[in-house]
Structure 1
Amino acid sequence: MSTPSAGRAVRLGACAAAAGLVTLGMATPALADSDQLWIQAPYEFVLPAAATGGQQPPASTIGLGLYHDNNNFTVTDGRLTVDISGLAGIADVTWPESCAPTGSTAVCAIPEVPANGGTPVQLTVRAASGAQNGTTGRITYQGRAATTMEGGELTAVESETTVKVASGPDLVLDRPDAVTGVQPGSTVPVPVSVVNNGNESANGVQVTLYVTRGLTLSGLAPQCVSTPVGEGAIKPVTRVSCAFDDVVAPGGSFTLPQPLTAAVAAYALAERVDINVEPRGGVEDLSPSDNGGVAEVKAVNTADFAVRGTKVSAAAGETVRAALTFRNKGPAWIANLGSGDPVANVDFVVPKGATATGVPESCEPRTLEGDWAENRIGAPRYSCNLPMWVAEKQTVTFPFELRIDTVIPGSVGKVTLTPPWGDQPLPFDPNRANDKARVVLNPAV
């Protein structure tokens, strides 16, 4: 019953029920502007109470860790101090080998502190004998680590986890591993395996899948209902809802009636099946944070992104339409359904002698150097967001209206395809030559 690492919220919704994570921390004052140390731990954790008759409740795992912000620095010798004195009479803890306990406190070693999170410290916790439903306790944390920065040490402020004893089913999805290097046209397994770590039976299991369009599932049970999700003729996701009457006792497991497989389409690239399970009958799961997971399927494929400008002529004082056109030449479609980020941006530098008087809604004003600009009308440069997914062979047009203030024959505006973040080239685009184009005003005849 561990809590997943912090990250961007999954937009597909299949595993969006994750509990919040504590990421409270700060650097020592001299280092605060350069890096910060953070404690990773759940805000709240629910433990199954002992069953009627005093049987020992199942064990749960609380994942803990440290991380920092700045990849430019190496952070080592992480020391996470864990104080469980607030769990007296509520829960029993078994320390992992990386922790050195003294009484109710232990210092847990994290030799290399990552910049992207992680939970290398795994506490085994179970409700104490006689702990009543609804009782709560707490675990508190402190964190320190060494750094290559001048000053030598980072410190995280104290944080805590509230631990609650309760009764009910706790369905836990065995999160599938990513499958990489898959050839389009092949078939891959999609495992769905669940255990009940709670202290009460789950009287029925609801399985919900969100499948990206590059995958087609086979092996679905007759009671599964598939519904395309999204606007327009092409749907990026299919929602599959399956209701099963299986009773899953404490410690028991559940699998689908027959294994699922996914056929990988010719236009597949970064595909995923978001999986979520929950008890049926309106019964609340003890810990929804471990009910979901993502089966990632990475196909061997490319998508040739390209931009096209235009040539227009007008006299001084006239306004003309100048359309920037993006096209995904395929063969793969591209989707950022997990993050919701645009697949790319189109950067437009307005030609000299013209003023942008009509700006597409998805285009944001910039200064000539690329910084934010306040006024949408009349900016010298624009960054236009593409959608978060584009199908193969899809085009997107950004229609600008340009007022000709001064006729400058052959005045050129630059059109450039850019990544949604950073400055690295798009990894799936094999042809960078068509990532640039021009808007030419009053070209020579």
Structure 2
Amino acid sequence: MKKLFPSRRTRRVLLAPVLASTAAFAAVLGPGALPAAAASDMLWVYSDPYEMTLLGPYEDGSAAPSQTLTIIVSHDNTSTTVPAGTLSVDVSGIAAFADVSWPANCRPETATTAVCDTPELPGGGYAPAAAIGLTAKADAPDASEGYVRYTAEAGGMTSWPGETRVAVGNGPALGLTQAASVTGLAPGTAFDAPVTLANNGNRTADRTLLTLFASRGVKLRGPVPSNCEYNDAPTGRTLLCTLDEKAAPGSYHTLPLGFRAKDNALFDRIDYSVQPWSEQALAEQRRGQVFTPGAGTELNLSPAPATDEETNPYRMFSVRAKNTADYRLTGSQVSGAAGETVQASVTVRNHGPAWVASLSAGDPAATVDVNIPAGTTVTAKPDNCEPRTASGGYRDEQLGAPRYRCSSPIYLTEAGTESTHRFTFGLRIDEVLPGAGATAAIWNDAYEPPVRAFDPDLTNSESRIVVNP
């Protein structure tokens, strides 16, 4: 039975530097007794899952399922091997509501503690130290919670103590399989992304709330279903769908999702998530925004075979299209007398046909390098422009810099207001130098999105600010 909490990848929890145990070990053996690499090593303990919810008995009276909490030991140094050691585990914090089953490598010392043998760890390696079975007691109150606590010792090192939150929760636990990302689509191409919905909980979900976000360059294939409502934003469309089919514990259903890449598709994504339906859940997903009811064919779940794929309440996949977008940069010409302050601007515009967005990384859709003309001083700058030295290095003082690195929002649409972004500077004319000018240029090698990868004409990605032409 899968856990009720959203799945998380195994990770270290670095709570604090712990070098005392190694230092003490070295002190006992004498100076130089430990290799330098070993003296710099650190031992860690953490768990998979990071936290756990135990299911109680099923609604049909079936016994509560056993779930496994795996304690993992690791160390940092890649050039040393840590010998076998021990793991001390204390389950007294959950004993009131959970039964514990110790694995063969653990020796119970009391009713709630055990010492487990841990394996040798290769350089920089990690290994499971104990796979502990946990089962909610038949009379465990819902929402009970406590902590399993543990510490490892090996190779003269003692880990910082670790802990895992364990709770009891009864109810549906809805999750979705991962749809594969799509690449190389031609604009206008239809594609399917069916996924499986599973209920890994111990109660039936009478209805399911599906939340779906399709970014600006993709859309559902066909009209919005009548059991869905939608809200449009510059970045895409959000749909909230009420699925009436019951999802019993252990059941699987197919959710048929069909999409189409629009003419403006390029770097797009689709987010989808599920939860048990309720008026409160629906209101929270609306977030106070106005949604419009759909009028198309109803979107329904259909029974599906069981799957071994991991399920999660929230999923996302990317959609990459074969398309282009033409960025154009426009500078400005300004005039004034010595001592006057003028407004000079640089404007980046996306002429399409694709919109450009960094929806995953959150990077600017366009980054512009702006040089400041000789004889002038910057007295005001946009908030999204960072000062630079003449060579492009870091500069702390915000005003008066000879150069600025400016960032657009994370998206530029293919048309309309959001396709254009302007950076305006206040320039004080210190000395009248007729025709004084400086170059502004789009950074075409940004990590995401890489402009030269989609812009077919880079010749218009550069312009100038000219003072007193």
Cα distance in structure 1, aligned partners of 2:130 and 2:189:
37
Q: Report the AA paired with residue 24 of structure 1.
A: L
8 Å CA contact 2:441–2:462 kept in 1: the answer is yes
Cα distance in structure 1, aligned partners of 2:370 and 2:75:
36
Q: CA deviation at 1:333?
A: 1.2
Q: Flag the 1:357–1:66 CA change in 2: closer, same or farther, 3 A.
A: farther
Matches within 5 A, 1:38-437: 44-51=51-58, 55-58=62-65, 85-86=90-91, 90=98, 101-103=105-107, 105=116, 107=118, 127-130=135-138, 132-133=140-141, 134-140=143-149, 157-218=160-221, 220-229=224-233, 235-256=234-255, 259-281=256-278, 290-368=312-390, 369-375=392-398, 377-393=399-415, 394-418=419-443, 426=451, 428-430=453-455, 431-437=457-463
Q: CA deviation at 1:432?
A: 4.4
Q: CA deviation at 1:436?
A: 3.4
8 Å CA contact 2:335–2:467 kept in 1: the answer is yes
Q: CA deviation at 1:38?
A: 9.5
8 Å CA contact 1:46–1:164 kept in 2: the answer is yes
Cα distance in structure 1, aligned partners of 2:460 and 2:258:
37
Cα distance in structure 2, aligned partners of 1:239 and 1:308:
34
Q: Flag the 1:281–1:226 CA change in 2: closer, same or farther, 3 A.
A: closer
Cα distance in structure 2, aligned partners of 1:298 and 1:108:
45
The aligned residue for residue 14 of structure 1 is none
Cα distance in structure 2, aligned partners of 1:144 and 1:411:
69
Aligned to 2:378, what secondary structure does the other structure show? Answer: strand
The aligned residue for residue 303 of structure 2 is none
Higher Cα Rg: structure 1 or 2?
2
Q: CA deviation at 1:37?
A: 8.4
Cα distance in structure 2, aligned partners of 1:68 and 1:298:
39
How high is the sequence identity, in percent, across the aligned residues?
33
8 Å CA contact 1:22–1:41 kept in 2: the answer is no
TM-score (norm 1): 0.72
Q: Flag the 1:343–1:423 CA change in 2: closer, same or farther, 3 A.
A: closer
Q: Flag the 1:196–1:166 CA change in 2: closer, same or farther, 3 A.
A: same
How much is the aligned-residue C-alpha RMSD, in angstroms? 4.6
Cα shift readout 1:71-130 (whole Å, capped 9, x = no counterpart): xx97998999976542667255798xxxx944454658997979xxx9999979652453
Q: Flag the 1:245–1:381 CA change in 2: closer, same or farther, 3 A.
A: same
Cα distance in structure 2, aligned partners of 1:401 and 1:291:
49
Cα distance in structure 2, aligned partners of 1:40 and 1:427:
44
Cα distance in structure 2, aligned partners of 1:80 and 1:193:
43
Q: CA deviation at 1:237?
A: 1.6
Cα distance in structure 1, aligned partners of 2:413 and 2:347:
15
8 Å CA contact 1:25–1:37 kept in 2: the answer is no
Q: Flag the 1:283–1:379 CA change in 2: closer, same or farther, 3 A.
A: closer
Cα distance in structure 1, aligned partners of 2:205 and 2:73:
35
Cα shift readout 1:184-217 (whole Å, capped 9, x = no counterpart): 2211113242111111111211111111111110
Cα distance in structure 2, aligned partners of 1:420 and 1:143:
47
Aligned to 2:245, what secondary structure does the other structure show? Answer: strand
Alignment partner of 1:438 is 2:449: no
Q: CA deviation at 1:223?
A: 1.1
Q: Flag the 1:180–1:74 CA change in 2: closer, same or farther, 3 A.
A: farther
8 Å CA contact 1:169–1:201 kept in 2: the answer is yes
Q: CA deviation at 1:283?
A: 8.9
Q: Which moved more, 1:399-408 or 1:416-425?
A: 416-425
Q: Flag the 1:295–1:45 CA change in 2: closer, same or farther, 3 A.
A: same
Cα distance in structure 2, aligned partners of 1:277 and 1:37:
35
Q: Report the AA paired with residue 221 of structure 1.
A: P
The aligned residue for residue 22 of structure 2 is none
Q: CA deviation at 1:299?
A: 1.9
Pairs aligned (count):
400
Q: CA deviation at 1:28?
A: 6.9
**Could you say which structure has the higher strand fraction?**
1
Cα distance in structure 1, aligned partners of 2:45 and 2:68:
20
Q: Which has the higher contact order (CA 8 A, sep 6+)?
A: 1
8 Å CA contact 2:358–2:448 kept in 1: the answer is no
TM-score (norm 2): 0.69
Cα distance in structure 1, aligned partners of 2:356 and 2:443:
15
Cα distance in structure 2, aligned partners of 1:204 and 1:93:
36
